[in-house]
Amino acid sequence: MIEMRNILCPVDFSDNSKHALEHAIAIAHRYGSRVTLLYVCPGVPAFAYAGTTPMLDPFVLTDADRERLTTELQQFADSGPRSRIRLQHAVREGDAVSEILAEAASVKADLVALGTHGRSGFERLFLGSVTEKLLRKADCPILTVPPHNPGTVPVEPELFKRIVCPIDFSECSQAALTYAMSMAQENDAQLVVLYVAPNDLVPLPGQPHDDTRDHTLSVAEFLIRREEHVRRLLQEMIPDTVRTYCNVETMMTQGKPETEILRVAGEHGADLIVIGVRGRGAVDLTIFGSTTQQVVRLATCPVLTIRHH
């Protein structure tokens, strides 16, 4: 079973970060976690740059500033549900991504929960400049929470009841599946394990060589055999012990991965998508940009990204 002893929740006092805090607190209720509420004050305002040269002197927090911001953090947390939660506050200054990563390391965070902003203008820039960098650089899982939808915020200890986990049989997606299965078991949830097949005729890892070398196979026969292979693999990936404690559905679709992931999540009323993220190389940036990034940007439910080390 997974552990979430320490949760870091960066906030900017917006409604979106309040929504993320509600999720962090709900998870903390379930796992007995400590939540660290973090506010990062930028050292230099964004508008103060012309090219790479600051036009204004760096802003330095005074002791009075820190005390005021800490009080505001306490009030921000007190306005929502937080009974029986171990909550601490931190105020830092500097680059948001660097400070969040440093604080995550300092508190040994098992999870970073943060709100994503809207999809236009400055808010879109904010998502690109902070959330997406954290998704690429953070070592621990990241829970991104989209803007609030009335009536969809669970605040009870049993947080996620309908989980979708897309996989591609890579090591990183198997790590995400392990996480998703654990959460589904602990929350008595419905788990949908999804594979999105490519539109081309690429064979899958472990697919019998006869299928790929037999030139007498028609396209339709090849696709049928590939689907049978996928469904067999999906069934084998779910241990009987997991099926005992939660309802597991395996399914295969075909099309553009992010489109199919979001469609299936919507049709199943998912309140969580768990997805794996590869390492930090150039290949990962391409994969991240084409799938995970789009899922995080467009999902209407929280997305939990798991990095494979």
pLDDT at 103: 97
CA distance 97 to 252: 36
Which residue type is seen at 203? P
Q: What does the angle CA 106 – CA 109 – CA 110 come to, to the nearest 5 degrees?
A: 155
Going by pLDDT thresholds of 50, 70 and 90, the confidence category of residue 288 is: very low
Domains 6-145 and 162-307 share a fold: yes
From residue 43, alpha-carbon distances to 16, 46, 191, 243 in Å are 23, 9, 43, 50
The lowest-confidence range among 35-39, 185-189, 226-230 is 226-230
Residue 247 has pLDDT above 70, yes or no: yes
pLDDT category of residue 282 using cuts at 50, 70 and 90: very low
pLDDT of 190 higher than 90: yes
Structure tokens that stand for 36 in this block: 């660290």
Relative to beta strand 142-145, strand 111-115 is parallel
pLDDT over 70 at 49, yes or no: no
CATH 3.40.50.620 fits 162-307, yes or no: yes
pLDDT at 306: 92
- Which residues, including other chains, have CB under 8 Å from residue 192's CB and lie 6 or more apart? 162, 163, 164, 165, 248, 249, 250, 251, 264, 268, 270
User: Of the given ranges (31-40, 148-157, 172-181, 253-262), which has the lowest mean pLDDT?
Assistant: 148-157
Most confident of 107-111, 165-169, 184-188, 224-228: 107-111
**6-145 CATH pick, 3.40.50.1100, 3.30.950.10, 3.40.50.2300, 3.40.50.620:** 3.40.50.620
Helices (H) and strands (E) in the chain, counts: 12, 12
Residue 191: pLDDT over 50: yes
Residue with the larger pLDDT of the pair 5 and 285? 5
Q: Where are the domains of the chain?
A: 6-145, 162-307
User: pLDDT by residue (tens digit) across 76-85?
Assistant: 888 655 557 8
Average pLDDT over residues 200-227: 66
Q: Are 273 and 304 in contact (CB under 8 A)?
A: yes
Q: What's the average model confidence in pLDDT over 241-255?
A: 90
pLDDT of res. 272:
96
Q: Report the amino acid identity of residue 142.
A: I
In this prediction, residues 282-301 reach a mean pLDDT of 69
Question: For 170-185, what is each residue's pLDDT tens digit?
Answer: 888 899 999 999 999 9
Predicted confidence (pLDDT) at residue 249 exceeds the cutoff of 80: yes
Residue 150 pLDDT greater than 80, yes or no: no
Question: In the predicted model, what is the mean pLDDT of the chain?
Answer: 81
SS3 46: helix
pLDDT of 36 over the 60 cut? yes
